[in-house]
A and B are shown apart, each in its own frame.
Chain A
Amino acid sequence: MSDRIDVLKTYKTYVGGKFPRSESDRTYKVKNSNDKIVANACRCTRKDVRDAVLAARAASKDWSGRSAYNRGQVLYRIAEMLEGRKDQFIKELELLGMKSKEAIYEVELSVDRLIYYAGWTDKYPQVFGTVNPVASSHFNFSTPEPTGVVGIIASDTDPLLSIISLIAPVIAGGNTCVILASESNPLPAVSFGEVLHASDVPGGVVNILTGYREEMVDHLSSHMDVNAVLNTIFDKKTRKLIDENASISVKRVVHYDSKNWADDTHENPYLILDFQETKTTWHPVGV
């Protein structure tokens, strides 16, 4: 047994349902909490950002047009796939230096969180949609619709749970997204891409890039075809940059202040609502 040489995994990106390397062909070293190098991750560039946004835009029409029931089933399927690969993720988190108990907790909570949002897809429009009793002879109703393509700048803490907490409400609401994975802890994000691939999520709905944040944030947040940005980085300079870039095309920006991703504040439909537009339709009432 002990003679066997382990097969190491090459961590790539996840874009448009495929696993390309960075177009730059460059990588950077990922270390665990003991400062030991555990893998090489792709060091993506603005061109990878461009490709990922293209993929997200291309997937948007199909994904936003899916029925709420179908989106719920797809999210549930992700949870099922993750449940099936629990051990892999636990090991990966342990490799990064997490204690076994913590790793189990994080993976299990990640599965549960996916199921939580799977259940919301066909309910949040009921909770947040309205029929508006206008004074004229018109039927008037408001429904939430996806904002479009969301750029997500992921957190360095709880690398699996945080990325799922960020992605789930965004895609549950019919958006597609491009995620800049944690710079220091990108591996669970990339592996999660494999889970997405194995489930029924159409290619391009979720796109995951790794690399140096400061090489990508500017391009992602200024991209004219990105409709919204979800940022988890506290740094004031980064926040200001994102805000300013957003103003070029009136993007919606949400900054999360969370440090504790296990916190149940991450399970609420208002997070879906952050990336929804309200559409109000009027129609005359008369025979």
Chain B
Amino acid sequence: MSVISIPDFNQTIPIDKVGVEERVSRLNKRSIKKESKVQALNLALSMIDLTTLEGKDSEGKVIQMCSKARMPYAPMPHLPSVAAVCVYPNMVTTAKKALKGTSINVASVATAFPSGMAQLQVKLDDTKFAVDSGADEIDMVISRGEFLKGNYNFIFDEIAAIKEVCGEAHLKVILETGELETYENVRTASDIAMYAGADFIKTSTGKISPAATQPVTLVMLEAIRDFYGDTGIMVGMKPAGGIRKAKEALQYLVLVKETLGAAWLTPDWFRFGASSLTNDLLMQIVKQETGVYQSLHYFSED
């Protein structure tokens, strides 16, 4: 790999809001029917980071969620399992144990999630604890306050430092786009994260509204495309929060397909940070198979 030259992040890359939203709305008009729909529903299911990130999380809840991750719908055992479960650091051991023998990853949020309002050392320790507990993936948050101040070097260095602590674990960098306000900011933050070593860039913590939106995701996918074009390095994408319906999931997949292409249409390069999405995908899959519209009463809520 040739030496990667790091761009000047102060140089704003102009993005036209209306144009981005028009592009999304045009992509939303793709009609996904029949086989392509079944294929996409299964694909989306396999891309889920099944997530629980609440103060009241218990080991019991995590274990139940892991069980759902392994076998999303017992009557249809051939369905794919989800890509990962996503938990707080102190639940990693529990999840890891519950998923033993599967290929499902355990992702852990870290770095004083969700606000990121802590000293670097605290964040590094938080990350190290999660990694040592067995986390395969780390979902870190950036310091939005520093970002909005224009302190881009701070953001870059922080991500690079966390990446180092991650070791083998994949690093997903959460931009918390709902606090960045403009698409230009989202683009800059994406670039900083990628150049600093992110394996994935991720929209949101799920604790701030708006969480993931399709226009934000498109901007990030385009950033990934440019980064790939400039460096030859693939980076993954994870929209998280607010994606509840199968239909939306398919729309996201269309965004990925038509922006980055087939290579990114795999759980290795694209994830959904979601929980209730799983059951809606399952309902649609069952509907496709049986022809009968489904009710949530028949699907386990874990």
Contacts and interface: CB of A to CB of B under 8 A. Distances in A.
B182 A138 contact: no
A137 B182 contact: no
A136 B22 CA distance: 10
Interface residues of B, number: 7
Interface stretch (B12-20, B100-108, B188-196, B236-244): B12-20
Q: Chain A: interface residue count, which band?
A: under 10
B19 A284 contact: yes
Contacts of A138: 18
Majority SS of interface residues in chain A?
Answer: loop
B26 to A, nearest CB: 13
A137 B17 CA distance: 10
A1 interface: no
A287 B18 CA distance: 9
A19 B79 CA distance: 92
Interface in B1-36: 16-19, 21
A199 to B, nearest CB: 46
**Most chain B beta carbons < 10 A, residue from A137, A138, A284:** A284
Contact of B182 (A136, A284, A285, A287): A287
Contacts of B16: 284, 286
Contacts of A285: 18
A287 B17 CA distance: 6
Interface in A237-284: 284
Contacts of A287: 17, 181-182
Interface string A111-151: 00000000000000000000000001110000000000000
A138 B18 CA distance: 8
Nearest to A136: B18
5 contacts: A284-B18, A286-B17, A286-B21, A287-B181, A287-B182
Interface of B: 16-19, 21, 181-182
The 4 closest A-B pairs by CB, nearest first: A286-B17, A284-B18, A286-B18, A137-B18
